[in-house]
Amino acid sequence: MQRVVTYPRWVLRLCLGFLSLLVVLNVIFPLPLDKARNVSPVVLDRYGGWVAGFTVDDGIWRIKADLDVIDPRFVEHLISIEDARFYNHSGVDVGSIIRAARSWQRAGKPVSGASTLTMQLVRQIEPRPRTVPSKIIESFRALQYELFLSKDEILELYLSHISYGGNIDGVHAATLTYFKKPPSELTDAEIALLIAIPQAPEARRPDLWPNVAKRGRDKILAKLRDKERLSDLQYKEATEMPVTVLRNPMPETAWLSARSISEKGETLRSTLDMRVQRDVEAVAAQYLETLPKNVNVALTVIENDTMAVRAHMGSGGRDRDGGWLDMTRRYRSPGSTLKPFIYGLAMDDGLIDGGSWINDAPVRFGSYRPENFNKRYYGQVRIHEALRHSLNIPAVTVLDQIGGLRLEETLTAGGMDVVRLRGDSEAAGLALALGGAGITVNDLALGYAALANGGEARPLRWRENDKPSRPVRMLSQSSADELTSILEQSPTPDGQVPAWLSPDFPAIAYKTGTSYGFRDAWAAGYTDKWTVVVWVGRPDGAPRNGETGRKAAAPLLFDVFAALPREDGHKPYIKDETAPGGLKRIKDPIEAGPQILFPPNGAELLSSQFGDTARGFTLSARAKDNQVRFFVDGQKVDLENRRSIWRPETPGFYEVRAVDARGREAVSRVSVLAFQEIADPRF
């Protein structure tokens, strides 16, 4: 006959009431899990190596603990010392409470504690005065944690929050600070010290009180020996180890890069490769030694196949001006670095080829009159020569054919954010060819990586688990390949060996840029495997006279490429061949008639004298074979010393007309204003 076990009704009612009370209390006092999971953002490299971490809001280092990367002996020894029945109780160890009460009664004072690791976790997250009511609340909270979380989750939270003195919470932050290493492999002495410090965090701080810390550590070692977790020899060797007296700074590399991609409370794996990062930083540091403190550098290194950022420097260091700014995300004038995209679009349209001829001579586009950087003009040149030597007039002439808006929309569609610096006028659109826009180092790197990838653009990848995005075609494969062939033969910086003389070094397709007033020096380049963009300048935007992209940035670009892992099977270097017959010439603006260079249409001219005694204005125009005549309000302007000098009779409005040998004409309508010269008594 089966026996049925019964319980008095009052027992059932008591249990039911207790459970109901727990449910009500859970609703009224929910667990503060957000606070429990408030840990430091940490960024790792692609292989899981440490890059940088950041404090939580209250300035505390609290790195999330992961049992998979913590020395298991530390966990075992910790539990044996602090809470031997951790895996058997439900957050409150009744047996330990009874033993502690009896020892207190016998000794007349507290002798041993009864707090479990779960209760200690509660105390760390929600500190309260050490009173009996606080113990009751801690016990209730401990039951809640045990109800909703697993033992391993509770242990990881405990190892994340436990205090190690100062602003150091958690075992991972402690090992980095005190031992300069992660908690994966610890010595017996280190394990004992990590158990001892939380028992009196401020009194046993090894950086402040090394002798006190050593005595606390040795007590833990003795307990581990008594529990037969250490042999006598291990105990002796561990007690002889000195205690560190220095607090090490938290390791950080590429901290600006890590800050920009970090997420609150998360440990994420970035695309950075610390081996590449350290080599690139070493090259940049050596280069920075030659520069004044008010000059900084920024650079981005991309792996072309994956678009992963393998190395990144937002600045050259916090000890330099602007060192706290990530200059790779600041909009700066790119100088001439957008010229390859202008020629690439024209190639796609069939307007030009690398061997096409184009005229390099002074020209005016409405009110916009560009000039070459060196004020020299070379007449008829081929497109590949104009691009390699960064001639301004040909680039603006080609952009005038395809349109500034077309260039801007193409770059934007590819993922490059372009900010016009001079408004939305026609001149502003053409000024894009010469740096009349704002762009970031990272966006320019995206664009040059598109050239390396056959004209297809994809977003940069900063996190290793980011999925590759669908590519956007900016240029055709043939145009991208031709641009690469041209840029690979750009003149190398002083002291650099050309690629065809160094068969073991890949050819670098690169372009430099210098913004107006020498404010920004750029160098952007790529090989089969890598794309690198370098910026050098003053973060405050002040000019650096004479510091061009070729002089100030290109040497660092080539040094960075030399520091990158060598690629296997790079494409051979190919020199230019003679341009095939029948290549098109891009349309020169003067083919449609003369162009008035001065005075431009709509200009206001000031004159202090009028009539025959006036100094006058020198009229200038560009025309086929330079044969042009000037007329003002229908009256021919005579030549004086081979120059057309116009002396207006009175202030007012005039129509200036230039006529070439074929009868084609251009018109400028201007106004002449009178002013009285006033002598300054100071001069």
Please state, in angstroms and as integers, the Cα–Cα distance from residue 94 to each residue in 73, 101, 116, 289, following that order: 27, 11, 10, 66
User: Which one of the listed residues 40, 82, 262, 315 is annotated catalytic?
Assistant: 82
Backbone angles phi, psi at 514, to 5 degrees: -135, 125
| C-beta separation of 304 from 447 below 8 A | no
Amino acid 98: pLDDT:
56
pTM value > 0.85: no
Residues 6+ apart with CB under 8 A from 661: 623, 624, 625, 627, 628
Amino acid 571: pLDDT:
47
pLDDT, one tens digit per residue, over 475-531 is 999 999 999 999 998 888 876 655 555 556 788 999 999 998 899 999 999 999 999
DSSP 163: B
Q: Give ranges for CATH 1.10.3810.10 in the chain.
A: 9-239
| C-beta separation of 247 from 24 below 8 A | no
> How far apart are the C-alpha atoms of 658 and 641, rounded to whole Å?
18
* CATH (residue range 328-563): 3.40.710.10
Amino acid 580: pLDDT:
45
Residues 6+ apart with CB under 8 A from 151: 86, 87
The structure tokens 């060192």 sit at 323
User: Which one of the listed residues 270, 336, 479, 485 is annotated catalytic?
Assistant: 336
Please state, in angstroms and as integers, the Cα–Cα distance from residue 52 to each residue in 160, 185, 257, 258, following that order: 17, 20, 9, 6
Would you list the DSSP string of 511-566? EEEE-GGG-EEEEEEE-SSEEEEEEEE-TT----TT--HHHHTHHHHHHHHHHSPP
SS3 of 88-150: the string is CCCCCCHHHHHHHHHHHHHHCCCCCCCCCHHHHHHHHHCCCCCCHHHHHHHHHHHHHHHHHCC
* CATH (residue range 593-674): 2.60.40.10
Amino acid 543: pLDDT:
92
9-239 belongs to which CATH class? mainly alpha
| C-beta separation of 411 from 447 below 8 A | yes
Amino acid 21: pLDDT:
62
* Alpha carbon 609 to its chain's center: 58
Q: Give ranges for CATH 2.60.40.10 in the chain.
A: 593-674
User: 354: closest CA among 222, 489, 256?
Assistant: 489
pLDDT, one tens digit per residue, over 600-635 is 887 778 787 888 878 888 898 888 777 889 999 989
Amino acid 679: pLDDT:
35
Low-confidence ranges of the chain (pLDDT < 50): 1, 105, 110-111, 569-583, 677-683
> How far apart are the C-alpha atoms of 503 and 87, rounded to whole Å?
64
- Please say if 82 is a catalytic residue: yes
CA-CA-CA-CA torsion sign (130, 132, 134, 136): positive
